[in-house]
Structure 1
Amino acid sequence: MTVISILTADDLERRLDAFAALMLACVEDGASVGFVLPFTLAESAAFWTNRVLPGVRSGKVLLLAAERAGKLAGTVQLDCDTMPNQPHRAEVRKLLVHPDFRRQGVARALMAELERQAALRHRRLLTLDTRTGDSAEPLYGSIGYRVAGIIPDFCRDTIQDRLDPTTIMYKAL
């Protein structure tokens, strides 16, 4: 059974090692989440500390965690730090599922709760980007996200020295 919870800044600080290990496992498995190999546990921890923790602490970023069998199986963020003319929307960031827990409904459970939380915060439009062709792209499509467009040469591949396109997607809640 997957248990989804909202984490506070204190929770993230206490579980920093687990979040760093989760991201490292995903990047090593080829996930395009902003990092390239070689990638270290220290770099992963620095991301959570420097880039995610301040947003969680300020309340502008909602951090969700998925637990299975007492282990951190996945996470996703809802970034509500929008400009004054965009109080109705938010961005989905860093949907990560540990390779050991993939294809078990973890991503779907995280996204369902993220969407529920977005609606509670009066966010009616969600946006995201995903590397074109990744396994996440059909997942997002299957839960109602629509393609707005594709940007070529958007990011460097995690493993190979090449540039990959990204697919921009959205969902109206």
Structure 2
Amino acid sequence: MITRLSADDYPAAVPALGEVLADCTNGGASVGFLAPLDPVEAATWWKGLTGDVIAERVLVWAAWDGARLVGTVQIRPASLPNAPHRAELAKLLVHRDARGRGLGRALLAEAERGARTAGATLLVLDTETGSPAERLYRSAGWTEAGTVPDYAANPAGALRPTTFFYKKALVTAG
């Protein structure tokens, strides 16, 4: 099951979000952190987003396996006056022991629906070039905008290229 975390639900989910972020980073996912990442340190990062979640500057979805949070994704609506149509997709994460069940694709689809509901007509994202996430985005209809060499360090600290993607016309007529 996938749910959007409300401002009320979010604080209780922070430790589990930290567990997922730490697991993904320690498993090699290039999502902004270096390994080894402690789950408590990862939870501190999530806790720092609380104000943005309350203000809906960050929208967070969680994938559940029963009562256990096993995945997450964010939509970050653009805050500039000239960009109310745009949002960034970020931190699409699935715990390693929950992979292979389509949760990444389901989280991506739910985030796209949420962005549509919020009025976004353009989504953007970046991901490590050659990663499994890159293959997911391509197969889900995202368009490559380009690749930047040595854009970010992977969890081991090695600089890696990053590919930027976009998806247009998310709002359906009707």
Partner of 1:93: 90
Aligned CA-pair RMSD: 1.1
The offset of 1:15, in angstroms, is 1.9
Counterpart among 17, 21, 44 of residue 46 in structure 1: 44
Partner of 2:33: 35
Residue identity opposite 2:11 in structure 1? E
Partner of 1:169: 165
Compute the TM-score of the two structures, normalised by the length of structure 2. Answer: 0.93
Tell whether the 8 Å contact from 1:153 to 1:165 is kept in structure 2 after alignment: yes
Partner of 2:54: 57
Residue identity opposite 2:155 in structure 1? T
Counterpart among 84, 98, 122 of residue 125 in structure 1: 122
Tell whether the 8 Å contact from 2:122 to 2:167 is kept in structure 1 after alignment: yes
User: Kindly, what percent of the aligned residue pairs are identical?
Assistant: 44
Aligned length: 169
Compute the TM-score of the two structures, normalised by the length of structure 1. Answer: 0.94
Moved more, 70-79 or 9-18: 9-18
Residue identity opposite 2:158 in structure 1? R
Tell whether the 8 Å contact from 1:61 to 1:81 is kept in structure 2 after alignment: no
Q: Which runs of 4+ in 1 moved over 3 A?
A: none
The answer as to 2:144 corresponding to 1:147 is yes
The offset of 1:67, in angstroms, is 0.8
Tell whether the 8 Å contact from 2:78 to 2:86 is kept in structure 1 after alignment: no
Runs (5+) with no aligned partner, structure 1:
none
The offset of 1:11, in angstroms, is 1.3
Tell whether the 8 Å contact from 1:130 to 1:137 is kept in structure 2 after alignment: yes
